[in-house]
Amino acid sequence: MKICPIQKSSGILILVFLSFNLISQIQAQGKTIPDSKLNLNEQKKDNPMKRTDSDWKRILSPEEYRILRDKGTERAFTGKYDGHFEEGTYKCAGCGNKIFDSESKYRSGCGWPAFSDALPESVAETKDNTMGMARVEITCSKCESHLGHVFNDGPNPTGLRYCINSVSMDFNQEEKK
């Protein structure tokens, strides 16, 4: 088959492009990304706590399991931290990860503990379209346990309301910051 000059030069160009691309990929594999450029929240998501479902059932009470692992919700106005306003730190009940500071807790009147902000990189957000609503679910960035949801009707400066189950948290008075 006779190849016309245009086809021949196009073929050479494609070969040059593919070679350059391959060399770039090999170079990229050899480079390490500095820690300062990593999104540590994402890194934690890639390395979630390795607990099996039976581990969680053994560690948690049935109510904790229903909420933390089965994405349940405690009844409004029944949680132990709804009207709790001592100074300290709230931790994930599944793994002890520090998630909220008492400074961000406020009286929202919604029936669940409410915070205007989460501690840096402590929680992950996921779109949740269950129950016929468009919400954003909040989970622990370390163990992926369900904590609650975040809404955009909170106070300034964040404008956010982290609506969290009391069952999903443990409070530590002495470990503030």
State the catalytic residues.
Answer: 163
Of the residues 60, 95, 118, 160, which one makes contact with Fe ion according to CB under 5 A = 95
122 binds Fe ion (CB under 5 A): no
Of the residues 68, 118, 138, 143, which one makes contact with Fe ion according to CB under 5 A = 143
Give the shortest CB-142-to-Fe ion separation in angstroms. Answer: 5
Sort 107 into a burial class: Cβ within 10 Å, 0-12 / 13-18 / 19+: exposed
98 binds Fe ion (CB under 5 A): no
Of the residues 65, 67, 88, 97, which one makes contact with Fe ion according to CB under 5 A = 97
Number of residues engaging Fe ion in binding (CB under 5 A):
8
Please check whether residue 167 is in contact with residue 78, taking contact to mean a CB–CB distance below 8 angstroms: no
92 binds Fe ion (CB under 5 A): yes
ω before 5 within 30° of 0 (cis)?
Answer: no
Rounded CA separation 30/33 (Å): 10
Of 168, 150, 140, which Cα lies nearest the Cα of 114? 150
